Chains A and B, each alone.
Chain A
Amino acid sequence: AQSVTQLGSHVSVSEGALVLLRCNYSSSVPPYLFWYVQYPNQGLQLLLKYTTGATLVKGINGFEAEFKKSETSFHLTKPSAHMSDAAEYFCAVNSNDYKLSFGAGTTVTVRA
């Protein structure tokens, strides 16, 4: 079985500040991990994913995430928030049953 927990349903940051979104997963086998973003009135699009190899993964729009097996975490960060980062972010895991399991999502608000 696999599952994802996203800590914090809402995050508010100032423009230019660090964005940190937390994701913990459970999986009985080595997982494949994803972050998706959903802008208002749009579908989801991939930000980044971890498959194998380097544990620090870089994605689009300046986002990156680090896979930490010992902590079962895959937290998403961006050093400097921009107004265009306001969106809902979903962490997802796909381990041994070929289906994505999503977290509940974290809504990011960026203050000017």
Chain B
Amino acid sequence: DADVTQTPRNRITKTGKRIMLECSQTKGHDRMYWYRQDPGLGLRLIYYSFDVKDINKGEISDGYSVSRQAQAKFSLSLESAIPNQTALYFCATSDSFLSQQETQYFGPGTRLLVL
């Protein structure tokens, strides 16, 4: 079984709808991240969490919110989806032991299309 899973893998929604993307991990890591990937822009950080009670905004948090329900679960919500939120979304996890040196482990991604 995969260490980092994301659901759904694909989602089509309409402008104005609220949607939630979910991420679960079995690696036992403290740190979790949400990124979006757009062609030619690489990955940009939306939100990150260093433990269950810690939530931080990334560089592009407007229009998004997150919830860290448990160490293993980190959800991303789009409160009112808009077309320019069409993208590939990745969840990632990392250990905290070696801090910045730690490898991030990525889920398979969720492809979101907002019509």
Binding site for B on A (CB under 8 A): 9, 32, 34, 36, 41-46, 49, 51, 90, 94-96, 98-100, 102-105
Q: Give the residues in chain B near A43, CB-CB below 8 Å.
A: 4, 90, 106-109
- The residue on A at minimum CB distance from B31 is A98
Of A32, A45, A103, which one neighbours B106 at CB under 8 angstroms?
Answer: A45
- The distance from the CB of B46 to the nearest CB of chain A, in whole angstroms, is 11
CA distance A105 to B39 in the complex (A): 9
Are A98 and B100 neighbours in the complex by a CB distance under 8 Å?
Answer: yes
Q: Is the interface of B mostly helix, strand, loop or mixed?
A: mixed
- The distance from the CB of A37 to the nearest CB of chain B, in whole angstroms, is 11
Known: A42-B108, A44-B90. A32 touches B100 (CB 8 A): yes
Q: Give the residues in chain A near B42, CB-CB below 8 Å.
A: 90, 102-105
Given contacts A42-B108, A49-B101, 8 further A-B contacts (CB under 8 A): A41-B108, A43-B109, A51-B98, A90-B43, A98-B99, A102-B42, A104-B41, A105-B42
Known: A32-B101, A43-B90. A100 touches B45 (CB 8 A): yes
Q: Give the residues in chain B near A42, CB-CB below 8 Å.
A: 108-109
Task: Bits for B88-115, please: 1 = Cβ < 8 Å to A, else 0.
Answer: 0010100000111101101111000000
- Interface residue count for B (Cβ, 8 Å)? 22
Are A46 and B103 neighbours in the complex by a CB distance under 8 Å?
Answer: yes
Q: Is the interface of A mostly helix, strand, loop or mixed?
A: loop
Q: Give the residues in chain B near A95, CB-CB below 8 Å.
A: 100
CA distance A74 to B39 in the complex (A): 22
- The residue on B at minimum CB distance from A43 is B106
A-B contact pairs, 22 of them (CB 8 A): A32-B100, A32-B101, A36-B106, A43-B90, A43-B106, A43-B107, A44-B90, A44-B92, A44-B106, A45-B106, A46-B103, A46-B104, A49-B103, A90-B42, A94-B100, A94-B101, A96-B100, A99-B45, A100-B104, A102-B42, A102-B43, A104-B41
Top 9 A-B pairs, shortest CB-CB distance: A43-B106, A102-B42, A94-B100, A44-B106, A102-B43, A104-B42, A51-B101, A46-B103, A43-B108
